[in-house]
Structure 1
Amino acid sequence: MRRPRHTRPEPAPRDRYPDALRAMALLVVVFGHWIATLPRLDEGLMVATDHLLAVWEGAGMLTWVVQVVPLFVFVSAAVSADGVNRRLYDGHRQLHWWASRALALARPTVTYLAVLGAVVLLSGVTGGRFLEPLNHSLTIHLWFLLMLLGVQALLPLSVRADHRWGLGAVAGMVAIAALVDLMRARPGSAADLLRLGELATDHATVLGWLNLLVVWLLPQQLGIAWRQGRFAGTLTGLALCAMGLGWLALAVGSGYPLAMVDGEVGGRSNLLPPTLALMGVMWLQVGTVLAFESPARRLLARRSISRAVTILGALGMPLYLWHKFAELPAAWLGEKLGAPIDAGLPGEAGFWWGRLVWLLLCALMVTPVMAAVVAFEMRRRRDLVSATGTRAILAGGVALFAGILASMALGAMPGALLGLAGVVVASWLLRAHPQPRLAPDQT
């Protein structure tokens, strides 16, 4: 009698909802960055750029929508939580997993900085007229990679905290962030608590940078709790949305800046370092994820929409890396066409028409950039194994962080070249280098 053949169980279908959320978040960031860049022309030639927040204070409310980093961290943690659970008590496997994530980000960053470095070198011949006005804008967005890798390195600790305290870990982190802002504010009386945001962001203290860790780990903690089923449902989502709006209103009313991006380092900023106010955006975004989960999943059940999400997911990180670069050819084309890319200031005639034209130019010019990037990346080896040695991984992580920090701090000129050196070293260290096998007569 023939024994029944044992077949492997088919893997569970991929959950497209987190993929859709991450793709949407990256698209929002891309269009938000393009809208925020205001080219300034003199006699038809671009000579400088402004930032939308610098010329229109009311634009700060738009950042409640476009500051989607908490959403990305929340979803990434939810997706990774099960894998971390399986190797929770195997530190070496955890480190190897982080190395693979770091390598996956380092390799395309090498390409980006290499091309940007080549443009910098060529600008020495052409004068760098387009490069100079966009100098820091071309590298500052790389901060997201550092933040993402930093919080993912602490995923095992976040998962353990969820096992031990559940949502109590979330409450504890909120309390720590509030305490940090209180210590920054140094209120002298109960009445000063009503000016908490004003006082906290007026005092630049080293202690405030503790919230760089706490505030960005909070959406990760929430994402793990969501994955574990500790909260869910439309009503919960609506309650979190209401809490987020109330939180933001109270925060701004107490003097925290309206904008949730940029600002003065160590001063009037909700981001540098992160403040209690930034949590309001997180509550609002997490609430939206829960409130729209059911209808979104019904839409994603359609094959055409699911396929579109798959494509966007594959292009998401390359688009994030290269979307600022597309502003260079967009500015050139805008000049050649005489397009109204310098539309003046908010409130002036044609301002929003000029924003729309700039968006269309950026979207048009990012298309060939992305086609070239995708074609190049598809020719590269995609099956590289990350390093397993602890020293190599730690050294690679340090080199990666140093390279990206250099490019952010110095801009494209000369940050791209200096940063490229660090990221190239990181990519090499984070990659496994198997030793060639010796022939039998050499053993």
Structure 2
Amino acid sequence: MTAPGRERGVDVLRGAAMLGVVLGHWLVTAPLAPDEVTGAVGLDSPLRTMPELAPVSWLLQTLGLFCLVAGFAAARSWGASTRPAGRWWWARVRRLAGPAGAVAAAVALVVVVMALAGAPQSLVVRTVRIVVTPSWFLAVHLLLSAATPVLVRLDARFGGSAVVAGVATAGVLAAVAPGTALAPVAVLAVWCVPWQLGIAMARRPLRPQVAAALLAGGVLAVVVLVLSGAVPPTAVGVPGADRSNLDPPSVATLALVLGQGGAAALLLPGLARDGRAARALAALGRRAYPVFLLHQAVFAAVWLATLRVGPLPGLHEGTATPGWLAARTGWVVVLAVVLGGAVHRSRAPVPGAAAAVTSTSPPGRPRWRARWSAVDAGSRPR
């Protein structure tokens, strides 16, 4: 059930975006079992051994859609808020800081236990990297949240021209930034584009003609850039490759997020309709941030816990192993069940996920669970 103050279509889009992020990570993250002699832990990817999966990587690269929905929600939240910009932003930081800190503390505890147990350093490092690598997006998210009041004013003054200017700036930076000190700036500039587009969509509907042009132009640009060899064929990096479309984001990634923005604008009016798939995606969308924070921790936990059993197909073996993809698909189901349980246990039993987190919690309710509940609030005005 969609709570008052939320837009079901936005929750569905957020859920679809998070589904792509989680499936993408779980399908391409392929750490190997430690070497029996050196203890070294290698990293593989099905995109290296199965190049025919490259188109799937573009379908599952939905961070741009997630950014768009986050910008949409931030604009609505800021528009409904009576707080000064600093206090409004700090409330959003607090909603993420508690759960993120809990994950960080759990990782630190696991590292200590592994070190005391004499685990190889490579195993410890690989475990930490699996969990924390996606956290770069949290920094981008918080910086763009802080910029939201300014970005809203830009939209109010310049309208769609603010998005166009952002696209032009991001395009130049994406083209020149790889291998230079401008790479972090390019990261912010590219992900600011869908955020700004989400702000625009929160303030007024995008015309269908414009949305269709964004979708068609974005898809066409990605296809041309990939087929011409101007960018790598996969949406994400591959171990051993010297180029990536994500670190920093390439022009193709910028085109992808524009195409996703057009698709979102075309689909949004119809996503509020009831249906089993829509309900499932909306439920996932309402829990998107806990899912994002926990999904790689769940992968690392399952991967570590099963190492004692021996190298298992689809989990500890190289992706060139026959049947690897089918086995990994089965593991994705296991991971989904574990993640669902973890998210369910972390949520506070309170009606209305947007309950404010105060300095005290009701008797019997741990404060960390109350903070997870606040993170569920996602797009609720504060």
TM-score (norm 2): 0.78
Q: How far, CA to CA, are the matches of 1:334 and 1:260 in structure 2?
A: 30
Aligned to 1:383, which of 356, 368, 375? 356
Unaligned runs of 5+ in 2: 360-382
Q: Is the 8 A contact 1:263 1:272 kept in 2?
A: no
Q: How far, CA to CA, are the matches of 2:238 and 2:310 in structure 1?
A: 34
**Measured at CA, do residues 99 and 28 of structure 1 come closer, stay the same or move farther in structure 2, by a change above 3 Å?**
same
Aligned to 2:14, which of 16, 22, 33? 22
1:323 aligns with 2:323: no
Partner of 1:38: 30
1:292 aligns with 2:267: yes
**Measured at CA, do residues 291 and 338 of structure 1 come closer, stay the same or move farther in structure 2, by a change above 3 Å?**
same
Deviates more, 1:33-42 or 1:140-149: 33-42
1:255 aligns with 2:230: yes
Residues 206-244 of structure 1, C-alpha deviation per residue, up to 9 Å, x if partnerless?
A: 2344322221111111112222225233x5444322111
Any idea what SS the aligned residue of 1:205 has?
Answer: coil
Listed as ranges, the matches of 1:97-246 within 5 Å are 97-128=88-119, 131-181=124-174, 184=176, 201=178, 204-229=179-204, 231-233=206-208, 236-246=210-220
Q: How far, CA to CA, are the matches of 2:235 and 2:257 in structure 1?
A: 11
Residues 278-315 of structure 1, C-alpha deviation per residue, up to 9 Å, x if partnerless?
A: 1111122112213333442223xx5x667645542343
Aligned to 1:363, which of 330, 336, 349? 336
Deviation at 1:259, TM superposition (A): 2.8
Aligned to 1:67, which of 53, 61, 64? 61
TM-score (norm 1): 0.68
**Measured at CA, do residues 296 and 362 of structure 1 come closer, stay the same or move farther in structure 2, by a change above 3 Å?**
same
Deviation at 1:257, TM superposition (A): 2.1
Q: Is the 8 A contact 1:334 1:340 kept in 2?
A: no
Q: How far, CA to CA, are the matches of 1:263 and 1:337 in structure 2?
A: 26
Q: Is the 8 A contact 2:78 2:88 kept in 1?
A: no
* Cα-Cα RMSD: 3.5
Determine which structure has greater relative contact order: mean sequence separation of CA pairs < 8 Å that are 6+ residues apart, divided by chain length: 2
**Measured at CA, do residues 13 and 363 of structure 1 come closer, stay the same or move farther in structure 2, by a change above 3 Å?**
closer
Q: How far, CA to CA, are the matches of 2:230 and 2:63 in structure 1?
A: 23
Any idea what SS the aligned residue of 2:44 has?
Answer: strand
Q: How far, CA to CA, are the matches of 1:349 and 1:164 in structure 2?
A: 57
Identity of aligned residues (%): 27
Q: Which letter maps to 2:156?
A: H
Q: Which letter maps to 1:228?
A: R
Q: How far, CA to CA, are the matches of 1:366 and 1:154 in structure 2?
A: 32
Listed as ranges, the matches of 1:294-313 within 5 Å are 294-299=269-274, 308-309=280-281, 311-313=283-285
Q: How far, CA to CA, are the matches of 2:328 and 2:131 in structure 1?
A: 19
Deviation at 1:93, TM superposition (A): 0.8
Q: Is the 8 A contact 1:25 1:72 kept in 2?
A: yes
**Measured at CA, do residues 376 and 327 of structure 1 come closer, stay the same or move farther in structure 2, by a change above 3 Å?**
farther
Q: How far, CA to CA, are the matches of 1:116 and 1:165 in structure 2?
A: 45
1:271 aligns with 2:246: yes
Any idea what SS the aligned residue of 1:298 has?
Answer: coil
Unaligned runs of 5+ in 1: 1-10, 185-199, 387-443
Deviation at 1:321, TM superposition (A): 1.1
1:340 aligns with 2:313: yes
Partner of 2:373: none
Deviation at 1:83, TM superposition (A): 3.8
Q: Which letter maps to 1:241?
A: L
1:52 aligns with 2:25: no
Q: Is the 8 A contact 1:29 1:68 kept in 2?
A: yes
Aligned length: 347
Structure label with greater radius of gyration: 1
Q: How far, CA to CA, are the matches of 1:97 and 1:310 in structure 2?
A: 25
**Measured at CA, do residues 163 and 131 of structure 1 come closer, stay the same or move farther in structure 2, by a change above 3 Å?**
same
Q: Is the 8 A contact 1:49 1:134 kept in 2?
A: no
Deviation at 1:116, TM superposition (A): 1.3
**Measured at CA, do residues 41 and 214 of structure 1 come closer, stay the same or move farther in structure 2, by a change above 3 Å?**
closer
**Measured at CA, do residues 326 and 153 of structure 1 come closer, stay the same or move farther in structure 2, by a change above 3 Å?**
same
Partner of 1:281: 256
